Chains A and B, each alone.
Chain A
């Protein structure tokens, strides 16, 4: 059980490259904190600084209020699951899990080691594999052994470094729920690094989004989704990602490539006085016009467009509508795309439609867009002009309550 505090943590390598810049983070006891960002954003470096495998250039790392910058990894009492599992190939599964116990300076009796390993292997369903070597295990089993080694020590916190990225999609989903359940059951603080926004959204009590070594926003998944602080967070969280359209105020509406849109007053106010703003619309705000209920229709705007293509997924379908990109915003959009690990931002709107919709590619059709929760962003610095911090804080407070109730439910 531990509370981990990062105070202005920075990491500069010998070659002068700064991987992490002034990251401050407060991880509460029992909290599941996710560090997420595209590759090279410094998330793994932060994790390695917490566990002690990477020196801290400046700033302070506190565990339960005690400064541990200079404490060696073995004395920090944290356990870590590595991306490649890092199992000891010459030891059996049993000995792999028992490894940390056998090293303890205060000698643990063999019976106690045996009891604790079996307890962990019960929890992880590894009983029949205890005598096997890691080489003979499947990816999911190796993953579970790595978890077993992490939990057997009763460490103060679990650190995960992209633990699921080597598994196939189906197994990843299973392991994800298993990790979540385990963390709730043990109530241990966890820090989890991933580049996968789905893992971030589903596992995290709070998610810290990093970009090029700088912390962008720390909030519950819901707050990140509904009240992102800037373009980067808005584009990174959510799949398919948020659509970004150039927009300008025209009377009491917003002029966009898909036509003038009726937007709520606070959105209009935020956009007023600027030549161009970036309008952020999530794919699910769109709908096939003929599926919109009469009562809801006035909350949005109907427009006509031709989807170049549609993809039917079973539970929903995606349509792709091309538009003319504002040349002024092209540079900004491409920079954002690079930040998000893409080559360039396609000038396409992704819309999510009801799976029964008969809209097909190539034919003009009527779409409807719900504009109640759209955001506008400042093209100069990408900041969100319509963010409501109070509503966001409320969402994160809700997540904290849920965590407390989930932990107590899982432990009783």
Chain B
């Protein structure tokens, strides 16, 4: 490939800046708002007149903490559990899809695809009724199960693609070297698939973490209500005040885990571990 000319570089840099500003602007705005005092919210200025932590104090220790803290706990717990289950199930399923020829393989793939494109909102009413009758309404499993329907299909698809690009000869070599199928899977395939599994886990976690529709319609109390749903129940310090500051602070707090995860795992996501397995 030819290296870019100075003009092209400039053009790309410009486009990149526009995209970055466009995507980060709302986030910065929320960040700025979260540090504003309640009197400052409607000032129309982008930056707070004075940087205060009132809003954070309110959601963690103040009036909103009974709403926010349980919601945070619910969000973290439910998202982690549904991610974990989705990734473990998807790893086996995707391995089978990538490596084995079994009847019904296409059915599994097509079902996964069908489930993932099914509109979430059309499921909530029947689920609401069903969950209430069998006692899953407003419980963790009551959210984990529907979340799996969102996270499993995409996990299966990503991981199957990832397994398919691991050279088959590696498993054959392991078998000839004396490994059982399970040993070949755990000692060769899983370490090589680790970047793919991490990527998948992160995507699955984001999906569960960001869900709003199931969160708001299948819960009623802080027993299971996740943060995105809980934000809607925030109220201001008095009924004449909008809870904008508190909502902004909560939004920043729920963004932090995502940022941490990406920073932690970006090496695994980026590194191409399979390099050098076969002649490059």
Residues of A within 8 A of B (CB): 51-53, 72-74, 78-80, 82-90, 99-100, 103-104, 133-137, 139, 142, 149, 153, 166
B residues near A99, Cβ cutoff 8 Å: 174, 177, 187
Task: Give the residues in chain B near A73, CB-CB below 8 Å.
Answer: 172, 175-176
| Contact, CB under 8 Å: A86 / B170 | yes
A86 engages B178 (CB within 8 Å)? no
Q: Give the shortest distance, in Å, between B261 (CB) and chain A (any CB).
A: 23
Name the B residues within 8 Å of A153 (CB-CB): 177-178
Instruction: Give Cα distance in the complex from A104 to B177, angstroms.
Output: 9
| A-chain residues with CB within 8 Å of residue B178 when the two chains form the complex | 74, 100, 103-104, 153
Residue in B closest to A159 when the chains form the complex, CB atoms: B176
Q: How far is the CA of A111 from the CA of B180 in the complex (A)?
A: 24
The total of chain B residues at the interface (CB under 8 A) is 25
Does A135 contact B167, Cβ atoms closer than 8 Å?
no
A82 touches B173 (CB 8 A): yes
What's the least CB distance linking B163 to chain A, in Å? Answer: 15
| Contact of B278 with A86 in the complex, beta carbons under 8 Å | yes
Distance between Cα atoms of A314 and B179 in the complex (Å): 51
**Distance to closest chain A CB from B208 (angstroms):** 29
Q: Which of B19-58 contact A (CB under 8 A)?
A: none
Q: Are A74 and B192 in contact (CB under 8 A)?
A: no
B173 and A134: CB pair below 8 A?
A: no
B198-210 near A? 1/0 per residue, CB < 8 Å: 0000000000000
Residues of A within 8 A of B183 (CB): 103
**B246-280, CB under 8 A of A: which get 1 and which 0?**
00000000000000000000000000011111111
Is there an interface contact between B277 and A134, defined as CB atoms closer than 8 Å?
Answer: yes
Instruction: Tell me whether A90 and B173 are in contact (CB under 8 A).
Output: no
A142 near B179: Cβ-Cβ < 8 Å: no
Residue of A nearest to B171 (CB): A86
**CB within 8 Å for A90 and B273 given contacts A74-B178, A74-B179, A103-B179:** yes
Q: Which residues of B contact A53 (CB under 8 A)?
A: 172, 175-176
Closest B residue to A80 by beta carbon equals B176
Q: Would you list 13 pairs from A and B whose C-beta atoms are within 8 A, ordered by A residue?
A: A52-B176, A53-B172, A53-B175, A73-B176, A74-B180, A78-B176, A84-B279, A85-B278, A86-B169, A87-B276, A89-B275, A90-B191, A135-B277
Cα(A19)–Cα(B178), bound, Å: 27
The 3 closest A-B pairs by CB, nearest first: A135-B276, A84-B278, A86-B173
CA distance A208 to B58 in the complex (A): 83
CB-defined contacts of A100 to chain B, threshold 8 Å? 177-178
Q: Contact at B177–A74, with CB atoms within 8 Å?
A: yes
Do A72 and B175 touch (CB < 8 A)?
Answer: yes
CA distance A11 to B174 in the complex (A): 23
Which of A52, A103, A133, A166 lies in contact with B276, CB distance below 8 A?
A: A133
Which residues on the B side are within 8 Å of A74 (C-beta)? 175-180
B188 interface residue per 8 A CB criterion: yes
In the complex, A340 Cα to B276 Cα: how many Å? 33
Chain B residues lying within 8 Å of A87, measured Cβ to Cβ, are 276-277
- Min Cβ gap B197→A in Å is 13
CA distance in complex: A83, B169 (Å): 9
Q: Which residues of B contact A82 (CB under 8 A)?
A: 169, 172-173
Bound form: Cα–Cα A73–B183 in Å: 13
Taking a contact as CB atoms under 8 Å apart, the answer to whether B274 and A89 are in contact is: yes
A136 to chain B: which residues have CB within 8 Å? 276
**A80–B173 CB distance below 8 A:** yes
Question: Which of B170, B274, B275, B278 is packed against the most chain A CB atoms within 10 Å?
Answer: B278
B277 CB contact (under 8 Å) in A51, A78, A88: A88
CB of A142 within 8 A of CB of B279, answer yes
Which residues of the other chain, B, contact A89 by a CB distance below 8 angstroms?
192, 273-277
How far, in angstroms, from A135 to B192 measured CA to CA in the complex? 13
Q: A51-B176, A53-B175 are in contact. List 14 more A-B contacts (CB 8 A).
A: A73-B176, A74-B175, A74-B178, A78-B176, A82-B169, A84-B167, A84-B277, A86-B172, A86-B278, A88-B188, A99-B187, A103-B183, A134-B277, A135-B276
CB distance from B66 to the nearest CB of A (A): 48
Q: How many Å from the CB of A215 to the closest CB on chain B?
A: 24
Q: Which residues of A contact B280 (CB under 8 A)?
A: 135
Closest B residue by C-beta to A149: B177
Residue of A nearest to B278 (CB): A84
Q: What residues of chain A lie closer than 8 Å to B167, measured between beta carbons?
A: 84, 86
CA distance A100 to B280 in the complex (A): 24
- The answer to whether A90 and B176 touch across the interface, beta carbons within 8 angstroms, is no
| Residues of chain A lying within 8 A (CB to CB) of residue B277 | 84, 86-89, 134-135
Contact partners of B170 in chain A: CB under 8 A: 86, 88
CB-defined contacts of B188 to chain A, threshold 8 Å: 88
Docked pose: A139 CA to B278 CA in angstroms: 10
Docked pose: A42 CA to B173 CA in angstroms: 20
Q: A103 with B173: in contact, given A86-B278, A139-B279 (CB under 8 Å)?
A: no
Shortest CB-to-CB span from B180 to chain A, Å, is 7
Q: Which residues of A contact B177 (CB under 8 A)?
A: 74, 79, 99-100, 103, 149, 153
**B residues in contact with A78, CB < 8 Å:** 176
- Give CA–CA (A52, B174) in the complex, Å: 12
A52 CA to B279 CA, complexed, in Å: 24
Once bound together, how far apart are the Cα atoms of A2 and B278, in whole Å?
29
Complexed CA–CA distance, A85 and B188 (Å):
15
| Residues in B whose Cβ lies below 8 Å from that of A149 | 173, 177
Task: Give complex CA distance A135, B169 in Å.
Answer: 16
Closest to B279 in A: A166
A52–B178 CA distance with the chains assembled, in angstroms: 12
Chain A residues whose C-beta falls within 8 Å of the C-beta of B174 in the assembled complex: 88, 99
Most buried by A among B167, B174, B183, B276: B276
Q: Which residue of A lies closest to B191 (CB)?
A: A90
B183: min CB distance to chain A, Å: 6
The chain B residue with its CB closest to the CB of A88 is B188
CB-CB < 8 A to A90: which residues of B? 191-192, 273
A223 to chain B, nearest CB (A): 32
CA of A104 to CA of B178, assembled, Å = 7
